[in-house]
Amino acid sequence: MPMLEQLKQLPKQLGRVKTPTADAGYASQNNVNASEQAKIRPLIALGRQARNPSRDERFAEPAWNLKRINALRA
């Protein structure tokens, strides 16, 4: 985990990072193993929460809008 190397470079005055957070993109056995070796216990998201719509759903045209657009084209 490259971030673990960057954490080592922080000034000592800041203290030691014990519990970093990471998004689901970092959820891998290699990252967990590297964190354990560094004696760090990260909080890593394991996936997207079900209540959040996907990116495609968030940016999709609403159905009512498509009907209106198609009606204007006719």
Length of the chain: 74
Segment 12-24, tens digit of pLDDT: 999 988 888 988 8
In a domain, residue 10? The reply is yes
Q: Classify residue 31: in a domain, yes or no.
A: yes
Give start and end residues of each alpha helix (H) in the chain: 2-8, 29-37, 55-59, 63-73
Count of the separate structural domains present in the chain: 1
Please give the pLDDT value at position 13: 94
Residue 62 lies in a domain: no
Tokens at residue 24, please? Answer: 């689901």
pLDDT in tens, 30-62: 888 988 898 889 898 887 767 777 788 778 766
Residue 70 belongs to some domain of the structure: no
Residue 27 has pLDDT above 70, yes or no: yes
Would 55 be classed as within a structural domain?
no
Examine residue 66 and state whether it is found in any structural domain, yes or no: no
The domain of 30 spans 1-47
